[in-house]
């Protein structure tokens, strides 16, 4: 199964923010949308960086409360690891596990196609396991 299947299921909408917006503004968007990451590149079609909950934590740890008034570009992850929509789910899970990421932008060349989280991948795996278990039960029941 490909990353595109995940995007087809959950949607490919991306919440983006401009790099000059403040950390406080980014947090307000993340809270309102109940998400853990924002793509930096306000048009939602490109990705110059990603701003995550971990970036917020680091900013606060290093700069204290004044970090809230600093711009996102000062704390974002520039040129984040990305994955192609044709890539497999196992590949995405491997990247996220090895590099300790929870979000991966999905890119075709320089074009942003969506974003997947570890939660998206785990949900897919749970659904897949449930489908396989149901099929096994049906097989056993019908002999």
Domains for the chain: give ranges and CATH numbers: 3-142 (3.10.580.10)
pLDDT 10s per residue in the chain (143 long)?
Answer: 899 999 998 888 889 999 999 999 999 999 999 999 999 986 767 788 999 999 999 999 999 999 999 999 999 999 899 999 999 999 999 999 999 989 999 999 888 999 999 999 999 889 888 988 988 998 888 86
Phi-psi region of 112 (alpha: psi -120 to 50; beta: other; left: phi over 0): beta
Alpha-carbon gap, residue 61 to 23, rounded angstroms: 13
Task: Please give the model's pTM, rounded to 2 decimal places.
Answer: 0.84
């Amino acid at each position: 199964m490909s990353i595109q299947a995940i995007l087809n299921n959950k949607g490919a909408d991306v919440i983006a923010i401009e790099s000059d917006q403040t950390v406080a503004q980014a947090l307000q968007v993340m809270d309102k949308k109940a998400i853990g990451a924002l793509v930096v590149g306000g048009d939602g079609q490109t990705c110059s960086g990603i701003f995550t909950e971990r970036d917020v934590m680091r900013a606060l740890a290093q700069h204290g409360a004044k970090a809230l008034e600093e711009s996102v570009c000062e704390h974002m992850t520039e040129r984040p690891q990305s994955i192609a929509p044709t890539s497999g789910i196992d590949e995405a899970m491997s990247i996220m596990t090895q590099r300790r990421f929870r979000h991966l932008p999905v890119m075709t060349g320089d074009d942003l196609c969506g974003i997947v989280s570890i939660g998206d991948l785990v949900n897919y795996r749970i659904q897949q396991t449930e489908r396989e278990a149901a099929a096994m039960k049906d097989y056993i029941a019908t002999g």
